[in-house]
C-alpha cells in the first residue's frame, strides 16, 4: 500500500497537538494532523482556560513560566479571548498566609510578578469574598483564554502553513517499516514520517508503556453577572488538591469570563470513569466555593460539565522521544495545566525534534523517566 509522507504526523488535535502542529508548520515542516472528533473537543473543551504559573515543582514552574511568555504573543488575538484578570490566591488563615513570602520569592526568581495582599486590600480587590479571610497573593499579569477556540485557531493556522488535516480519522496503529514510522488510520490510509502522539487521556491506546490516568473534573458556569468577580480566585490550598493523590478532592477556584459569566470549579476524581455530571460532586464543589464567596449562592447556574485531565504518575507531562522507538515522540499528560503549558511544550518538542537545544531543560519531562 502506498504511504503519504510527512516531516511530522501529529496524532490528536487538542491544545497540545494543535500547538505542536502550528509550531512545526511555522518552521516549514510538512505536517499531518489526525483527529477523530472536533478540534479541541477533548479535555481542551472542558478546561477553565486559566493561564497560571505553578511554583511548587521547579520543573512545572519552568514550563509554566516559559509558556506564559509564549501566550503573550496571543494577548490581542480575538480568537484567544485573552482576558488579563490576574490571579488572586486567597488565604483562609494565618497558617496559609505564611507560605506567601516563599511563593513570592519562587515566582520572583522565575520573573513572575507577584505581590502579598493584606486583608484590607483583599476586600478592596474582591468585595464579595467571605469575611474573616487572611489576605492573599496577587499575580497581576496572569490571564484566561478560551481553549477550544484557540485550538481551532492553531489548527487552522497550521493548515494555512501547509498542514494536512485528517479530520474524522483516528490513528489505529503505529508501526515501523523501511527505516521510518508508519501510522495506520482507521480508514486504511497509511501515513509515514516522524510521529508525535498527543492524544491526552487516550495515550495508553497507542503507547501502553506510558502510564496515564484520567482525572475527572467538574465545572459550572453561571448566567452573566458583570462586576461580581474581578480576578481568577483560588484558595492557597489549591495545590494540595491538584497535586495530592487523594481519590477525590475539591478546591475553591472561580473565574470571571469576559462575558460577565462566572466559571466555578473545581473537582478532581481518579476513580470516576464515566463522564456524567455527579450532583453530589457538584454540591461538594459549590459548598467549597460558597464558603469563600457566599453571594455565589444567589446566582443562576447555566450549565455544568465534566472533563478528564491526562495525569502521569509524577504529575509532569511526557515531552520527548519514546524510549526504544525510532522517531516516535510524545507530548501528553499535562493534567490540569495543559492549556497554560501548551505553547511552551510545543516549543520544547520542536527543539527536540529538530535537534536544537531547548530554552528550558527537557530532562524532567523525558518519557524515559517512567520506562527503562
Ligand atoms: C475540568 C478541567 C479544568 C481544567 N482547567 C484548566 C485550566 O484552567 N488551565 C489549564 O492550563 N489547564 C486546564 N485543564 C487541563 C487541560 O484541559 C488539559 O491538560 C489539556 O486540555 C490537555 O490537552 P491535550 O491536547 O493533551 O488533550 P485533549 O484536549 O484531550 O486532546 C487529545 C485529542 O486526541 C484525540 N485522540 C485520541 N485518540 C486518538 C487517536 N487514536 N487518533 C487520533 N486522535 C486521537 C482526541 O479526540 C482529542 O481531541 C483542565 C482540565 C479539566 C478537565
Closest ligand 1 atom number to CA of residue 255: 8
Confidence of residue 180 (pLDDT cuts 50, 70, 90): confident
Give me the sign of the Cα torsion angle 16, 58, 67, 263.
Answer: positive
**Upper half-sphere CA count for residue 231 (Cβ side, 13 Å):** 25
Give me the sign of the Cα torsion angle 295, 300, 306, 307.
Answer: negative
Q: Average model confidence (pLDDT) for the chain? A: 96
Q: Mark 105-143 as b/e (b = at least 16 C-beta within 10 Å).
A: ebbeebebebeebebeebbebbebbeeebbbbbbbeebb
Ligand 1: list residues with CB < 6 Å.
Answer: 11-17, 34-37, 41-44, 46-50, 170-171, 198-202, 205-206, 217, 219, 307-310, 332, 334-340
Closest ligand 1 atom number to CA of residue 15: 25
Output the nine-digit C-alpha cell for 117.
Answer: 495582599
CA 40 – CA 170 distance, rounded (Å)? 14
Centre of ligand 1 to C-alpha 178, Å, is 33
Confidence of residue 240 (pLDDT cuts 50, 70, 90): confident
Write down the domain spans for the chain.
4-46+147-211+315-369, 87-140+213-311
Centre of ligand 1 to C-alpha 159, Å, is 20
> CATH code for 4-46+147-211+315-369?
3.50.50.60
Centre of ligand 1 to C-alpha 4, Å, is 27
Confidence of residue 57 (pLDDT cuts 50, 70, 90): very high
CA 88 – CA 261 distance, rounded (Å)? 18
Output the nine-digit C-alpha cell for 241.
Answer: 488538591
Centre of ligand 1 to C-alpha 349, Å, is 17
Output the nine-digit C-alpha cell for 86.
Answer: 490576574
Do 333 and 75 touch, CB atoms closer than 8 A?
A: no
Closest ligand 1 atom number to CA of residue 218: 1
Which among 52, 183, 273, 339 is the best mutation to test ligand 1's pocket, defined by most ligand atoms within 8 Å of the CB? 339
Cβ neighbours of residue 73 under 8 Å, at least 6 residues apart? none
Higher per-residue pLDDT: 243 or 364: 364
Question: How high is the pLDDT of residue 179?
Answer: 75
CB burial of residue 3 (10 Å; 0-12, 13-18, 19+): middle
Question: How high is the pLDDT of residue 242?
Answer: 66
Centre of ligand 1 to C-alpha 152, Å, is 13
Centre of ligand 1 to C-alpha 98, Å, is 34
Confidence of residue 241 (pLDDT cuts 50, 70, 90): low
Percent of the chain's residues with pLDDT above 70: 98
CA 191 – CA 177 distance, rounded (Å)? 11
Question: How high is the pLDDT of residue 288?
Answer: 97
CA 30 – CA 168 distance, rounded (Å)? 20
Question: Mind listing the pLDDT tens digit for each residue in 254-307?
Answer: 999 999 999 999 999 999 999 999 999 999 999 999 999 999 999 999 999 999
Question: Mind listing the pLDDT tens digit for each residue in 335-372?
Answer: 999 999 999 999 999 999 999 999 999 999 999 999 86
Question: How high is the pLDDT of residue 289?
Answer: 98
Confidence of residue 1 (pLDDT cuts 50, 70, 90): low
Name the fold adopted by 87-140+213-311.
D-Amino Acid Oxidase; Chain A, domain 2 (3.30.9)
**Upper half-sphere CA count for residue 214 (Cβ side, 13 Å):** 17
Question: Mind listing the pLDDT tens digit for each residue in 264-276?
Answer: 999 999 999 999 9
Question: How high is the pLDDT of residue 238?
Answer: 80
Do 124 and 135 touch, CB atoms closer than 8 A?
A: no
Centre of ligand 1 to C-alpha 242, Å, is 16
CA 281 – CA 235 distance, rounded (Å)? 18
Whose Cα sits closest to atom 16 in ligand 1? 338
Q: 51 pairs with which residues across the strands?
A: 143
CA 344 – CA 319 distance, rounded (Å)? 11
Which among 11, 14, 201 is the best mutation to test ligand 1's pocket, defined by most ligand atoms within 8 Å of the CB? 14
Summarize the confidence of residues 92-109 as an average pLDDT. Answer: 96
Closest ligand 1 atom number to CA of residue 307: 53
Please say if the pLDDT value at position 120 is more than 70: yes
Question: How high is the pLDDT of residue 224?
Answer: 98
Question: Mind listing the pLDDT tens digit for each residue in 138-160?
Answer: 999 999 999 999 999 999 999 99
Question: How high is the pLDDT of residue 372?
Answer: 62
Amino acid at each position: 500500500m502506498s504511504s503519504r509522507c510527512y516531516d511530522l504526523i501529529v496524532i490528536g488535535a487538542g491544545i497540545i497537538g494543535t500547538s505542536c502542529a502550528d509550531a512545526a508548520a511555522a518552521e516549514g515542516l510538512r505536517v499531518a494532523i489526525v483527529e477523530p472528533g472536533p478540534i479541541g473537543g477533548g479535555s481542551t473543551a472542558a478546561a477553565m482556560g486559566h493561564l497560571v504559573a505553578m511554583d511548587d515543582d521547579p520543573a512545572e514552574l519552568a514550563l509554566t513560566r516559559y509558556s506564559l511568555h509564549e501566550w503573550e504573543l496571543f494577548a490581542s488575538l480575538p480568537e484567544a479571548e485573552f482576558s488579563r484578570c490576574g490571579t488572586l490566591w486567597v488565604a483562609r488563615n494565618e497558617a496559609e498566609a505564611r507560605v506567601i513570602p516563599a511563593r513570592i520569592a519562587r515566582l520572583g526568581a522565575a520573573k513572575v510578578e507577584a505581590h502579598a495582599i493584606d486583608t484590607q486590600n483583599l476586600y478592596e480587590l474582591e468585595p464579595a469574598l467571605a469575611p474573616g479571610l487572611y489576605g492573599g497573593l496577587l499575580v497581576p499579569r496572569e490571564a484566561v483564554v478560551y481553549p477550544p477556540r484557540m485550538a481551532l485557531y492553531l489548527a487552522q493556522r497550521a493548515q494555512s502553513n501547509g498542514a494536512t488535516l485528517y479530520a474524522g480519522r483516528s490513528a489505529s496503529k503505529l508501526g515501523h517499516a523501511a527505516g521510518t514510522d508508519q501510522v495506520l488510520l482507521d480508514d486504511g490510509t497509511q501515513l509515514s514520517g516522524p510521529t508525535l502522539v498527543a492524544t491526552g487521556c487516550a495515550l495508553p491506546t497507542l503507547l501502553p508503556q506510558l502510564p496515564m490516568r484520567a482525572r475527572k473534573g467538574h465545572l459550572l458556569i453561571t448566567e452573566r453577572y458583570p462586576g461580581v468577580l474581578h480576578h481568577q480566585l483560588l484558595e492557597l490550598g489549591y495545590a494540595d488538591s491538584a497535586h495530592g493523590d487523594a481519590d477525590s478532592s475539591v478546591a475553591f477556584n472561580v473565574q470571571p469570563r469576559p462575558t460577565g459569566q462566572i466559571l466555578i470549579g473545581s473537582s478532581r476524581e481518579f476513580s470516576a470513569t464515566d463522564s456524567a455530571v455527579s450532583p453530589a460532586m457538584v454540591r461538594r464543589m459549590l459548598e467549597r466555593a460558597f464558603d469563600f464567596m457566599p453571594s455565589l449562592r444567589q446566582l443562576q447556574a447555566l450549565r455544568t460539565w465534566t472533563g478528564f485531565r491526562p495525569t502521569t504518575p509524577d504529575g509532569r507531562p511526557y515531552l520527548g522521544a519514546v524510549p526504544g522507538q525510532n522517531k516516535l515522540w510524545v507530548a501528553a499528560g499535562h493534567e490540569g495545566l495543559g492549556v497554560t503549558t501548551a505553547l511552551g511544550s510545543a516549543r520544547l518538542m520542536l527543539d527536540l525534534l529538530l535537534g536544537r537545544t531547548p530554552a528550558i531543560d527537557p530532562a524532567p519531562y523525558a518519557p524515559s523517566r517512567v520506562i527503562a
